[in-house]
């Protein structure tokens, strides 16, 4: 059943990883999904790990994928995206803030004083400020229709120590942003919440495991599309506003909504 047919979503940072899986999960439910990211392809079929490849995948899953190559560090490009959505669709139902810039040298250990100051900009730049900018552009489209869902993709790093100080600060900010946006959006019928996947089989994580820099049992890890099914379930819930301001995990919402990991179907 295509319960999100006719609904419009924007998923930021969706050329790969969790963003790609979320875009695919929304496509699986029939949504039109604008896929953003910096990696693009002019080839046909498009090269993997590009916005065009994800958009193509969204369409194959049953939705309508639309690729938009942009840099979320450039506010004007972000605003142009939402202006385009308004012109083309006259609505926006779902925004998934997922864009993130992995540092060139990921900080997986050591003290904050041992890391370059630039790590802060990587962890708290586009991955935190970028969420705020996209939400600021998306909110008027949702408010005009008195309904919409903003999902901030976070991690347990917002609640406990993971990787580094700057990583934790960025994720805690993502969670707090959802809580406070929920307060300000309440009177307009719009929902904002924060969502944390667990251990997920992203390309980055699998590469780190292959290089011996991280340990992960793939049989116990989540598919990226598991998060997509979670966002789709939230978007289909007529009472989703009751969850506004909350910080949830994909696993706990799977117990509530009954969606399954496609790797275990």
Q: What is the mean pLDDT of residues 85-103?
A: 93
Dist. CA 256–CA 243, nearest whole Å: 12
Portion of the chain with pLDDT greater than 90, in percent: 69
Strands (E) in the chain, as ranges, are 8-11, 32-37, 64-69, 94-97, 148-153, 190-196, 247-249
60-91 burial string, b = 16+ CB within 10 Å, else e? Answer: ebebebbbbbbebbeeeebeebbeebbeebeb
Architecture of domain 8-264: 3-Layer(aba) Sandwich (3.40)
pLDDT confidence of residue 1: 45
- Asked if 132 is an active-site residue, the reply is no
Going from N- to C-terminal start, the domains of the chain cover 8-264
Across the beta sheet with 8-11, what order do the strands follow?
64-69, 32-37, 8-11, 94-97, 148-153, 190-196, 247-249
Is 179 a residue whose pLDDT tops 60?
yes
- The predicted-structure confidence for 238-257, as pLDDT tens digits, reads as follows 999 999 999 999 999 999 99
231-256 exposure pattern, b = at least 16 Cβ within 10 A, e = fewer = bbbbbebeeebebbbbbbbbeebbee
Rounded to the nearest 5 degrees, what angle is found at the Cα of 12, between the Cα atoms of 80 and 1?
110
Place of tokens 């719009």: 190
Q: How far apart are CA 134 and CA 132, in angstroms?
A: 6
From the candidates 100, 131, 167, 248, give the one annotated as an active-site residue.
167
Give the confidence band of 264 by pLDDT, cuts at 50, 70, 90: confident
Between 66-70, 184-188, 203-207, 245-249, the lowest mean confidence (pLDDT) is in: 203-207
pTM here?
0.93
- 209 has a pLDDT exceeding 70: no
């Amino acid at each position: 059943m295509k319960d999100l047919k006719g609904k419009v979503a924007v998923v930021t940072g969706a050329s790969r990883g969790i963003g790609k899986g979320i875009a695919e999960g929304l496509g699986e439910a029939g949504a039109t999904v604008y896929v953003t990211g910096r990696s693009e392809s002019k080839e046909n079929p498009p090269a993997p790990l590009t916005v065009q490849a994800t958009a193509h995948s969204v369409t194959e899953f049953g939705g309508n994928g639309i690729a938009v190559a942009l840099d979320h560090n450039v506010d004007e490009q972000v605003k142009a995206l939402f202006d385009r959505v308004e012109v083309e669709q006259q609505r926006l139902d779902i925004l998934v803030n997922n864009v993130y810039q992995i540092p060139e040298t990921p900080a997986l250990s050591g003290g904050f004083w041992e890391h370059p100051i630039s790590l802060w900009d990587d962890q708290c730049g586009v991955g935190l400020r970028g969420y705020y900018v996209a939400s600021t552009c998306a909110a008027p489209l949702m408010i005009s229709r008195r309904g919409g869902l903003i999902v901030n993709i976070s991690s347990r790093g917002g609640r406990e120590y993971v990787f580094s100080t700057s990583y934790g600060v960025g994720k805690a900010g993502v969670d707090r942003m959802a809580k406070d946006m929920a307060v300000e959006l309440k009177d307009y019928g719009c929902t904002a919440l924060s969502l944390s996947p667990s251990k997920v089989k992203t390309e980055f994580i699998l590469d780190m495991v292959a290089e011996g820099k991280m340990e992960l049992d793939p049989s116990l890890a989540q598919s990226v599309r598991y998060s997509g099914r979670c966002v789709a379930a939230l978007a289909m819930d007529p009472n989703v506003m009751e969850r506004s301001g909350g910080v949830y995990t994909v696993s706990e919402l799977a117990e509530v909504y009954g969606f399954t990991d496609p790797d275990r179907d």
